[in-house]
Amino acid sequence: MKTPPIVPPQEWEAARQELLVEEKRLTRARDALAAKRRRMPWTAVEKAYEFDGPEGRVSLLDLFAGRRQLIVYRAFHEPGVFGWPDHACRGCSMVADHVGHLAHLNARNTTLVFASRAPQPDIERVKARMGWTMPWYTITDTFDADFGVDEWHGTNAFIRDGNGDSVYRTYFINARGDEALGSTWSYLDMTALGRQEAWEESPEGYPQTPPYEWWNWHDAYGDDAEPALEWLARTRQGPRGRRD
């Protein structure tokens, strides 16, 4: 293997700073792309899709769990998939392994679920074996075919109209696009409302709060924990600036 040159620390730091310029340019481009997603048109979901869950039959609207936004990853766990019935497909399993703690997404009024064609007993067995805790439902109709994930994996984003029953599809990521998903940030960046932080370029009237203010330990959302910005100000540490 032909390795890069070995250089003194000062030369290494100069090279890192040069590359950092490109990395910040990429970060700004990624932010701009997410802003364009927030301006994508929506399309209404007209069909009444149904899924089997741990507690029985549920609708697409039920998958929101009362929240405004829904992200659905179509994972291949079904007869005919390599690893069946002991495993979901290897790629989808890697995606599942990368999912962060869902409490942070939930705090931004967003629900993430997985969906497959495997029956619930098979899904629950594999979840227990692999240590996965995300909600995982069984597709019972044409949901996968209608949303571009019947022959390949993919992630669809939906939003509901306030507290109403109208559901809209807002975005779709598949193929190598799924590689970047897993963190709270990457999932929020594909949604119609984004991270909902004040620095984002979003349409007028979109929900936004100061960055860091809503952050919390995953087991402390909803309690009386001190907001992150207040704690940082009181300890005089100051919040880290957004990397741009």
pLDDT at 233: 59
pLDDT at 152: 86
Chain centroid offset of residue 26 CA: 20
> pLDDT by residue (tens digit) across 148-178?
999 889 999 999 987 778 999 999 999 999 9
Mean pLDDT over 1-27 rounds to 97
pLDDT bracket for residue 218 (50, 70, 90): very high
Please count the other Cβ atoms lying within 10 Å of the Cβ belonging to residue 162. Answer: 8
Measured distance CA(108)–CA(102) in Å, rounded:
10
What's the pTM value of the predicted model, to 2 decimals?
Answer: 0.91
Measured distance CA(109)–CA(137) in Å, rounded:
20
Report CA torsion sign: 44, 48, 52, 56.
positive
Please count the other Cβ atoms lying within 10 Å of the Cβ belonging to residue 135. Answer: 17
The phi, psi pair for 69, rounded to 5°, reads -120, 155
Measured distance CA(83)–CA(88) in Å, rounded:
6
pLDDT at 87: 96
Average pLDDT, the chain: 92
pLDDT bracket for residue 222 (50, 70, 90): confident
pLDDT bracket for residue 243 (50, 70, 90): very low
pLDDT at 227: 61
Decide if pLDDT at 242 tops 80: no
Decide if pLDDT at 232 tops 90: no
Mean pLDDT over 56-69 rounds to 97
pLDDT at 228: 62
Please count the other Cβ atoms lying within 10 Å of the Cβ belonging to residue 230. Answer: 11
pLDDT at 14: 98
pLDDT at 162: 75
User: Does the bond joining 85 to the residue before it have cis omega, within 30 degrees of 0?
Assistant: yes
Measured distance CA(12)–CA(6) in Å, rounded:
9
Query: For the chain, what percent of residues have pLDDT higher than 90?
Result: 86
Decide if pLDDT at 108 tops 70: yes
> pLDDT by residue (tens digit) across 75-91?
999 999 999 999 999 99
Match 């709060």 to its residue by tokens: 209
Measured distance CA(112)–CA(64) in Å, rounded:
8
